[in-house]
Amino acid sequence: MMFTLHTDVFLDALTLAYVVVSVFLLLAVGRQNDTAKEAAKAALISAKALMNSERAWLMVTLEWIPGVGKRSVQQGPKYLLVRAKCSNDGKTPAWITEMRARYMVLRHGESLPSSPDYVAAKLIQSTLEPIGTQQPIVRDLSLPTEDSCGIEDKEIVYGVVQYLDAFGEKRETRFAYQLTVGDELERLSGLPEYNQAR
């Protein structure tokens, strides 16, 4: 009987040791899992940073069309005549999928909405067009205007260029300009929703 008692105690102690070792092993596996998750997150952040450094970055500038008046002088509807110049400041090509632009007058005391209304903007382009890093794409725009603009009113041109980058990501660049008193085109400041590349 003494032998059985020692064997039972030994087996109980051995079982307890197995349980303790198993608990430590489970904790170690859990820590390895957490470490693997953290490493995966860090790798994803690094991959996104690399994509952002290598991807296309489209920039849009507006200027007057050389040799052409700033507004149409024909009978009927009036148009603002501007040139949109799209350049790819990134390291890889892109494909423009859509371009929209709008001219609008803000009456004295009115302000732009916090987010642009691109549905109201004129569709300029809806066909796929490649843009590399060397040669900009130029579009001459004729945007419908309102008949009258008071001295204290603000004339605004804003728009968006949507594109696919080389990694297949949908991107867009928003642009907005104000016509100054001297009829110069000046990038609109103070409203980041209207001027950004993302």
pTM of the model: 0.74
pLDDT digits (tens, 9 = 90+) for 64-123: 999 887 877 666 678 889 999 999 999 999 999 999 999 998 888 888 888 899 999 999
Other beta carbons within 10 Å of 18 = 10
Contact by Cβ (8 Å): 94, 51: no
> Percent of the chain, pLDDT > 70?
88
Give the Cα separation of 40 and 43 in Å (integer).
Answer: 5
Residue 40 has pLDDT above 80, yes or no: no
113 SS3 class: coil
Give the Cα separation of 63 and 66 in Å (integer).
Answer: 9
8 SS3 class: helix
pLDDT on residue 37: 79
Tokens 């079982």 -> residue: 15
197: closest CA among 82, 85, 90? 90
Residue 187 has pLDDT above 80, yes or no: yes
* Summary mean pLDDT of the chain: 85
